């Protein structure tokens, strides 16, 4: 099966359904267990995951627990955050019976790929990564750890262990995808396998909202106190949107270049309502930021109401969540062992 999507596509495209004799295309993506998922996740990647899975893709979702340590000393309360992520995934419609949801610390063979992968990138390449630079700037750490610089290579292991061809992500992930593609290409060149190359060169899939801004006007992030989480209640959502940064111009227009904060709010309402942001801007017109924020609040709360209800229902059965993760970890482990075996064969280190 092929999924007819170009690399870094800006608009959602329809996946092609798998034919009966063809294996489903593999898609991998994931999140750090650092908090509840937010609207940036939903419109940046979660909606694409659900859509691709419905189109027949074999979806892998990594809960990147080791990566929590890139910008903090200890990973606080991991079991709770892992559970929050599982709740968010299932609430937005990822089908746990068909998806492989796993924690990468539970899959030793995946982590073993990191060693050969690190030998395939230079320190200069790791240092140049603009997303890592941005994350260092926002980090509250007094020094930068080796993990911070090397986590994009670890992410290559997350993607390549299952030979994913497509990775639905937000814009901040594009430099990491480039490193993954480089690692795959260099591995295949340096260690030619008999038959087809060991790794595919995966492509990023961007959505129509690849960089949703948070209430402070910078990238909405779990760790920056600027996010509207999917699980927030209606009142908290209203309060957060009321406090969102806008600009001094009272007349609302849709101008992403010159008015990024206002445009991001309009985009958010437009995604929730399935209407054009420019049309919403015209309707609000001279109503100013207050009318814009009322519109966004109603749109977000209306859109999230069924997701929130499903999430509350799922939270009553933590045993189910644990079973989903156990099954995902087992499947990921088997896939990773098989890939590591191929890697050993290609590197002549099968003894």
Q: Report how many residues bind ligand ATP under the rule CB under 6 A.
A: 21
**Helices (H) and strands (E) in the chain — how many of each?**
14, 5
Residue 243: closest CA among 297, 299, 284: 297
Q: How far is CA 162 from CA 98, 110, 336, 339, in A?
A: 15, 9, 7, 7
Token pair for residue 198? Answer: 């060991």
For ligand ATP, what does the binding mask look like between residues 34 and 73, x meaning CB under 6 A? x-----xx--xx----------------------------
Check binding of 220 to ligand ATP (CB under 6 A). yes
Q: Which residues inside 70-89 make contact with ligand ATP, applying CB under 6 A?
A: none
Contact yes or no for 3/52 (Cβ under 8 A): yes
Q: Is residue 32 a contact point for ligand ATP (CB under 6 A)?
A: yes
User: 202: closest CA among 178, 233, 224?
Assistant: 178
Complex with ligand ATP: residue 84 or 172, whichever CB lies closer: 172
Which stretch in 167-175, 195-203, 244-252, 254-262 sits in contact with ligand ATP by CB under 6 A? 167-175
261 near ligand ATP, judged by CB under 6 A: no
Closest distance of CB 288 from ligand ATP, Å: 25
The nearest distance, CB 69 to ligand ATP, in angstroms, is 11
Rule CB under 6 A: choose which of 36, 163, 222, 293 binds ligand ATP: 222
- The dihedrals phi and psi of 34, each to the nearest 5 degrees, come to -115, 5
Q: Which of residues 169-208 bind ligand ATP (CB under 6 A)?
A: 169-170, 172-173
8, 139, 223, 253: residue in contact with ligand ATP (rule CB under 6 A):
223
| Burial (CB count <10 Å: 0-12, 13-18, 19+), residue 278 | middle
Name the token pair of 114: 């990191």
The reply on whether position 221 binds ligand ATP by CB under 6 A is yes
Burial 158-178 (b: 16+ CB within 10 A, else e): bbbbbbbbbbbbbbbbbbbbe
CB nearer to ligand ATP: give 219 or 293: 219
- Footprint of ligand ATP on this chain (CB under 6 A)? 29, 31-32, 34, 40-41, 44-45, 169-170, 172-173, 210-212, 219-224
């Amino acid at each position: 099966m092929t999924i007819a999507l170009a690399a870094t596509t800006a608009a959602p495209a329809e996946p092609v359904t798998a034919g009966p004799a063809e294996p489903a295309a593999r898609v991998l993506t994931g999140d750090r267990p650092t908090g509840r998922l937010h609207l940036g996740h939903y419109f940046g990647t979660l909606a694409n995951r659900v859509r691709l899975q419905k189109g027949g893709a074999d979806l892998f979702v990594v809960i990147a627990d080791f990566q929590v340590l890139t910008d903090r000393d200890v990973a606080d309360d991991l079991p709770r955050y892992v559970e929050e992520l599982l709740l968010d995934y299932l609430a937005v419609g990822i089908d746990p019976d068909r998806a492989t949801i796993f924690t990468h610390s539970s899959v030793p063979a995946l982590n073993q790929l990191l060693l050969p992968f690190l030998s395939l990138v230079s320190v200069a390449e790791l240092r140049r990564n603009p997303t890592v630079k941005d994350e260092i700037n926002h980090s509250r750490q007094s020094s930068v750890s080796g993990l911070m610089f090397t986590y994009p290579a670890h992410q290559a292991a997350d993607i390549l262990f299952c030979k994913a061809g497509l990775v639905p992500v937000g814009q901040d992930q594009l430099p990491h995808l480039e490193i993954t593609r480089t690692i795959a290409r260099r591995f295949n060149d340096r260690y030619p396998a008999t038959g087809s190359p060991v790794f595919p060169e995966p492509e990023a899939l961007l959505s129509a909202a690849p960089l949703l801004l948070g209430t402070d006007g910078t990238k909405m992030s779990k760790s920056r106190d600027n996010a509207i989480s999917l699980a927030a209640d209606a009142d908290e959502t209203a309060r957060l949107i009321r406090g969102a940064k806008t600009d001094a111009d009272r007349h609302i227009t849709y101008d992403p270049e010159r008015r990024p904060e206002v445009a991001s709010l309009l985009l958010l309402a437009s995604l929730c309502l399935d209407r054009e942001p420019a049309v919403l801007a015209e309707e609000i017109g001279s109503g100013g930021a207050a009318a814009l924020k009322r519109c966004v609040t109603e749109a977000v709360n209306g859109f999230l109401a069924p997701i929130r209800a499903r999430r509350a229902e799922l939270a009553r059965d933590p045993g189910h969540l644990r079973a989903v993760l156990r099954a995902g970890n087992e499947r990921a482990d088997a896939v990773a062992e098989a890939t590591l075996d191929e890697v050993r064969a290609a590197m002549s280190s099968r003894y």
